Structure 1
């Protein structure tokens, strides 16, 4: 029975460590860089926040605000992040007029 308790304690420690690692990863993704896009005109009206790592479609193009939290972004003139990146963001950026980008890739 002592061996069972020892294994049980080891399992609990392993589960606790895994939970802490997952919480840390979730916290990092929650604080990832994000881009708010606006229908416009300007940086107002209907908005959408893009914070997903990887490729995302940009559906609104009236203005944008990129908040840099350590993850760079590449902006593409084509859907699906195809072709050559038109613009790369590695710091906070904002433009309150129309733009043509159709997709964004946030590197996490």
Structure 2
């Protein structure tokens, strides 16, 4: 009887650890930071949701991509469909305007 209780405690602990590890991974997703002006000027927005992220109109002046383990694809259309125009596999930045309209972060 005592061994069964000990095994149950270990199983509950393992499940709790997995949940915490999963939530920590989600908290550190890669970020696409879009700026309205060139040279990283203006009020930036941070797009970091897993999956589809639409780049708002007027936020194509410059960008910073902070890679924390999740790759991302940039698309020339607003719904992240079709063939990706660019794939982020590491940190990247550009201080001049770009044409992408959406980003898909692989989580």
TM-score, normalised to structure 2, is 0.83
Shift of 1:12: 4.9
Ranges in structure 1 where 5+ consecutive residues have no aligned partner: none
Shift of 1:45: 1.3
Distance 2:38 2:75 in 1: 21
Alignment partner of 1:77 is 2:79 = no
Alignment partner of 1:86 is 2:82 = no
Distance 1:38 1:22 in 2: 34
User: Which residue of structure 1 aligns with residue 60 of structure 2?
Assistant: 61
Shift of 1:9: 6.2
Shift of 1:69: 1.5
Larger radius of gyration: 1
Shift of 1:7: 7.0
Ranges in structure 2 where 5+ consecutive residues have no aligned partner: none
Shift of 1:43: 0.6
Q: How many residues align?
A: 105
Distance 1:91 1:8 in 2: 46
Q: Deviations over 1:45-98 (max 9, x none)?
A: 111111111111111211100011221111000111111101111111100111
Alignment equivalent of 2:29, drawn from 23, 29, 32: 32
Shift of 1:44: 2.3
1:49 is paired with a residue whose SS is strand
Distance 2:39 2:67 in 1: 20
Distance 2:5 2:76 in 1: 55
